[in-house]
Amino acid sequence: MTMGTKTWHLALVIVLMMILNLSTISRVDGEQQVPCYFIFGDSLLDNGNNNALQSKVKANYLPYGIDFPAGPTGRFSNGRNIADITAELLGFVEYIPSFATARGREILKGVNYASGGAGIRDETGQNLGTVISFSKQLLNHKTTVSRIVSLLGDEKSTEKNLSKCIYTVGIGSNDYINNYLMPQFYPTSRLHMPDQYAALLIEQYSQQLKTLYSYGARKVALFGIGPIGCTPGNIATYDTNGSLCVDFINKAVQEFNIRLKTLVDNLNHNLQDAKFIYVNVYGISSANNGGILTCIPFSPPCPVRALEVFYDATHPTEAANLVVAGRSYVSLLPSDTHPIDIRQLARL
């Protein structure tokens, strides 16, 4: 066992103990900490929105979902994703439904709009077929808000209710993986240096988040991009030049993350009746890839999934999701979240 693997296993044990304690507290309290939870993002948070789309980005088949109670549902992991675990920590008894399946009054507890392959830029991921971009996810949320107004009877009640809810957004990885790093499909890497591209993404992201604010969001957690240069897929595709990871990719996404943290500060300054937080996924995530698990449809996956970081070439295992979700809910280190964590956000 390498030092990196030992460090990952120790971190996992610590976080699992923390989550077990927090989950017990949530059950004892017997109440949801917030009335509803809305989720936006990509495949790291998707729970089935791509299932009926003409898209190559799907996970509604085995061995995805092999450790999830309902089996393959469209979650890009062996079990729960970050949104599922966060919902549990917030005290929800049931997982938040996908926009594709949410019906009737169940939308009052929240909706998951995330779509595998989606990005901040509308063209991102189109090389994979149909995906639901962040802009389209916001339009879907606008539809949901209208339905909530009908259910609650008036806009004022809806506004008051939504202001207490938690919103998480995890987007941006595909703007690199399925855009900037694919010059055969997209011109962005020829037109912009990494710092310029990051600035463009943040500029568009800022406008989108202000749209989300206009739809009633007041407690928003923004997940940064993880070290995607350390995914098995990228390590296999690019020359690491003797490094453990593809450094030029990690440096590029850090340009985005630095600007995202600054954006959080700016949003909090300019929208003072709201609170935005930054989740440092890059810092939380281990650079150790923990081995490569190949997710071939209907083939048996690695048997010791609880000790692995990646379930396929890009997506994390439930164990890795537990680490990110746990440390975003309650910061293990001061650098995990900024300026507060999700549990503190829920209490505001």
Active site residues: 43, 312, 315
Determine the Cα–Cα distance for residues 255 and 72; give it in Å rounded to an integer. 35
Sign of the Cα torsion 210, 90, 283, 322 reads negative
In this structure, are residues 267 and 284 in contact, taking their beta carbons and an 8 Å threshold? no
The C-alpha atoms of residue 167 and residue 346 are separated, in whole angstroms, by 10
Angle between helices 247-270 and 194-214 (to 10 degrees): 40
In whole angstroms, what is the distance from residue 46 CA to residue 173 CA?
Answer: 13
Beta bridge partners, 277, equal 221
d(CA 304, CA 286): 18
- H helices of the chain, in order, are 3-29, 82-89, 134-152, 155-162, 174-175, 188-191, 194-214, 232-237, 247-270, 281-284, 318-329, 342-347
